[in-house]
Structure 1
Amino acid sequence: MEFQLLGIFSFLSVAVVACHAALSPEAYWKSVIPNTPMPGAVKDSLSTTTEWEENKGTAVGVGKGGVIVGGNYRGKPVFVGVTPSANPFAYLYAATEDQLHDDPNVALFFKKNDLQQGNHMKLHFTKTTNAATFLPRSAAGKIPFSAVKLPQILSRFSLSPDSKEARVMKKTLKECEEPAMMGEEKLCATSLESMVDFSVSQLGKNVKAISTEGGRKREVPQKYAISGSKNMGKDGKAVVCHKQSYAYAVFYCHKTQSTEVYEVSLVGVDDGAKVKAVAVCHKDTSAWNPNHLAFQVLKVKPGTVPVCHFLPEDHVVWVN
């Protein structure tokens, strides 16, 4: 999804306290799952800094499309972002009428029998513009992450309670605090370390992490030809982590049974663009919200047919 980020700058103070003895998020990944390559969605959410320290005089740019909170680490800029978006991949989510017409994720839902080599599908893959980066767990743990503490959070980021950014963050916190469905395990990971720990706790250390890669910055959907697909899971279990709109990288991670994960090779009919897309097929949707976007797009009812969807580039799927 695309969002325009406007440079209307003000200043705030954000204290990010370094723990020099702790591993960096990237080093933590390598220490826990050394045989698991890091997918693009994770790499794109890593900060370019290697350490974090308290800094003041940080800048925040607020505009129509969202907010970029920027800091300086040893004279170099560090940016995280907030962009307004819904989460159509949360099972309890209900679509609005506007989203049926305007949400680029509409094109990503399909039926399992559509996943055949040679088939053409009209899809909208865009290069992610969610620039939010991970905080180290030691820093993220010092920032409240709860809807009841939203006033404290907004104050920390010098955001008005009436701002668009405040509404976006409130929505993310609400989604994160929704109760899990029966048979579902979920966590909003506020750091890379917590995302790794959750996925390993659900699937074990012998895991693969994959994400959609190869999308381009396109204004409109185009037809893609399916040139091949590969089933990536073994036992019908997967952890899917969706990047949220927040002041730093937060991933909504959830695990359910009866899930199939495919890596699908696509070629753009118009421009020849090659996309290695991750598709998730849910065999049991009986507990989903009947007003979920997928049912409205596919014109089916909960629990009747498997529901599949491609994932945007800023999402991660874990399988074993």
Structure 2
Amino acid sequence: MENILNKFSIKEGSKEAEIVKRTISECEANGIKGEEKLCITSLESMVDFTISKLGNNVEAVSTEVDKNSNGLQQYVIAKGVNKLGEKNKTIVCHKENYPYAVFYCHKTDSTEVYSVPLEGVDGNMVKTIAVCHTDTSEWNPKHLAFYVLKVQPGTVPICHILPQDHVVWVSN
């Protein structure tokens, strides 16, 4: 860890050092039951991982927010929610906090992906990607989602909208 922090001129004990340590820890940890994961640092590696798990017929999708919008807080779901790909045939790549590009990519047995159009109070439309985890029984019981939703692991599906800098690969 000391070598990594020195390489990026990050001071030990700083907030940045804690962020780097957390990312490395997440990348080195074993996946949960039914999860295949890899931390990736290049587009080529992301494509290689995706093709090795889903085959050659894949599409990358992500949330598209208009640069003039005020975030997603003033939007409601519009008509036209569409399921993307098949259950168990998706890979989600989350952008990690790190001094350079690192994505936590994973394929789980219980993930469904949807395209969810949102309409703002001003009529502005945003295309978001929602990921639904249909089985959370293997998740850490202290996961923020359980606290916010006041539910227990494995009791209900957990769905969330992905930020713009995350990528979902779906098998066609």
TM-score normalised per structure 2:
0.91
Cα–Cα, structure 1 residues 287 and 294, in superposed 2: closer, same or farther, change >3 Å? same
- Report the Cα offset of residue 280 of structure 1: 0.8
Q: What's the offset of the Cα at 1:225?
A: 3.3
Tell me which residue corresponds to 1:284.
Answer: 135
Matched, 1:161 2:12: yes
- Percent identity for Structure 1 against Structure 2: 59
Q: Secondary structure at the match of 1:227?
A: coil
Q: In the alignment, which of 18, 22, 25 is matched to residue 174 of structure 1?
A: 25
Partner of 2:94: 242
Conserved 8 A contact 2:64-2:126: yes
Report the Cα offset of residue 177 of structure 1.
Answer: 1.1
**Partner Cα distance (1:292, 1:163) in 2:** 24
Matches within 5 A, 1:58-73: none
Distance 1:182 1:220 in 2: 32
8 A contact 1:228–1:266 mirrored in 2: no
How many residue pairs match? The answer is 170
Corresponding residue for residue 111 of structure 2: 259
Q: For residues 208 and 164 of structure 1, what CA distance do their matches in structure 2 show?
A: 36
Residue number in structure 2 paired with 1:310: 161
2:85 is matched with 233
Q: Whose RCO is larger (CA < 8 A, sep 6+)?
A: 2
SS of corresponding position for 1:186: strand
- Which contiguous aligned blocks of 4+ residues in structure 1 show a shift greater than 2 angstroms? 215-221, 234-237
CA distance in 1, matches of 2:44, 2:94: 15
* Partner in structure 1 of residue 59 of structure 2: 208
Root mean square deviation, CA, Å = 1.7
Distance, in Å, in 2 between the alignment partners of 1:315 and 1:241 is 6
Per-residue deviation, 1:215? 4.7
How many angstroms does 1:260 deviate by? 1.1
Structure 1 residues 289 and 267, CA gap change in structure 2 (3 angstroms): same
Return 5+ residue gaps in structure 2 as ranges: none
Q: Tell me the distance in 2 between the aligned counterparts of 1:151 and 1:157.
A: 10
Equivalent residue of 1:312, what SS?
A: coil
Residue 210 of structure 1: CA displacement?
A: 0.3
Asked whether the 8 Å contact 2:61–2:167 carries over to 1, the reply is yes
Q: Is the 8 A contact 1:237 1:258 kept in 2?
A: no
Name the residue aligned to 1:218: 70
Unaligned runs of 5+ in 1: 1-149
Question: How far did 1:220 drift?
Answer: 8.1
> Which residue number in structure 2 is paired with residue 186 of structure 1?
37
TM-score, normalised relative to structure 1: 0.50
Counterpart amino acid of 1:218?
Answer: N
Q: Once the two structures are superposed, what CA deviation does each residue of 1:116-150 show, in whole Å capped at 9, x if it has no partner?
A: xxxxxxxxxxxxxxxxxxxxxxxxxxxxxxxxxx2
